[in-house]
Structure 1
Amino acid sequence: MIRKFILPILFLLVTTISLAQGHKEKQEKIKALKVAYITEQLELTADEAQKFWPIYNDLQEKQFDLRHEKMRAILNKLEAGSIEKLSDKEASSLLTQMENIEENLFALQKKYTKDLQGIMSDKKIMKLKKAEVDFNRHLLKQMREKHKN
């Protein structure tokens, strides 16, 4: 019962505080909230947590890098000119590059899932996936509400 009240208040408090701070500090606060949320949702044992977090953090970092590589590829083409100015060959090349990055993201996710299966049950892995989605939804909802006001 208390958990239902503490998490929303914690999210609200940290979100409010983070609005007054720099972008990097906001990211760190969100990351800390995500860690707390996932830890609570998964009910990790000390042994699981010790093995889980290095794998999870490594995945997050690699996903971030791949997603930014994908965005850089798009933005670099758009900075040089608009999409309409791309030749069919350039557009095809860009699409191929983006597809390759998406395939790398999928392969990374598969590897990550396999690595996690060595330290926790499949049920906890499913809880993790749900916790990530729930956390992101909650964060987006808060951001939308903040921008309405």
Structure 2
Amino acid sequence: MNKIMKLKNLVMLLLLCSVTVFAQEHKEKREQIKALKVSYFTTELNLTSDEAAKFWPVYNSFEEKQFELRHNKIRPLLQKLDDSNFDKISDKEANTYLAEIQSNEEELFGLRRKLINELKPIIGPVKVLRLKKAEDNFNKQLLSKMRGKNREVRINERQKIRNR
């Protein structure tokens, strides 16, 4: 009995460590992306030091709220939908999901509207437009890099299999 308890505790400890390592790696990747974004936006927007000092706290607050909304409300909702069988869902349930989705999208839109209204007096409307373009371009480049890495991983896996 004592050996079984030790084994269970060891398994739980290993599981906890692996989850912690995964969470840390995810957080580090987010921080790397954030650093790249800061550099990219600063260059693209050509912010003065005064503008940057006022811009980044507002933008960072927006991003934190957006991240929380996406990961605490939108992601769980989409996971429910992935797990559900659409053939068995009732119209009432579908309408409930649609109302939730619409509410979340309106909240995201409200966050974006608030950001724009707060940034216009800080960096001006032209730079706010540049920000939108910079965000889109940054996300496209990031997605392209991620796709490239995924392709490299698949190619390397195929080569490993062939070499066996």
Which TM-score band applies after superposition, normalised by the shorter structure?
0.7 to 0.9
1:49 and 2:52 are equivalent in the alignment = yes
Alignment partner of 1:64 out of 47, 64, 67: 67
Q: Match of 1:116? A: 119
Candidates 120, 131, 135, aligned match of 1:132: 135
> In the TM superposition, what is the alpha-carbon distance from 1:88 to its structure 2 partner?
1.1
2:80 maps to amino acid: N
Selected match of 1:98 from 98, 101, 105: 101
TM-score by length of 1: 0.80
CA apart distance, 1:107: 1.4
1: CA distance, partners of 2:67 / 2:55: 18
Output the amino acid matched with 1:33: L
Which residue type is aligned with residue 37 of structure 2? K
Provide the secondary structure at the position in 1 that maps to 2:54.
helix
Give the match's secondary structure for 1:121: helix
Alignment RMSD: 1.5
Task: Tell me which amino acid in the other structure corresponds to 1:44.
Answer: L
Output the CA distance in 2 between the equivalents of 1:23 and 1:54: 23
1:75 alignment partner in structure 2: 79
Normalized against structure 2, the TM-score is what?
0.73
What secondary structure, in the 3-state scheme, does the structure 2 residue paired with 1:85 have? coil
Runs of 5+ consecutive residues of structure 2 not aligned to the other structure: 1-23, 153-164
Q: Which has the larger radius of gyration?
A: 2
Which residue pairs with 2:8 in the alignment?
none
The offset of 1:58, in angstroms, is 0.8
Task: Say which SS state the counterpart of residue 123 (structure 2) adopts.
Answer: coil
**Mapping for residues 18-33 of structure 1, pairs under 5 Å:** 22-33=25-36
Q: Secondary structure at the match of 1:82?
A: coil
**Paired residues, what number?**
128
After TM superposition, which residue ranges in structure 1, 4 or more long, deviate above 3 angstroms? 76-79
Aligned-residue sequence identity (percent) comes to 48
CA distance in 2, matches of 1:84, 1:119: 51
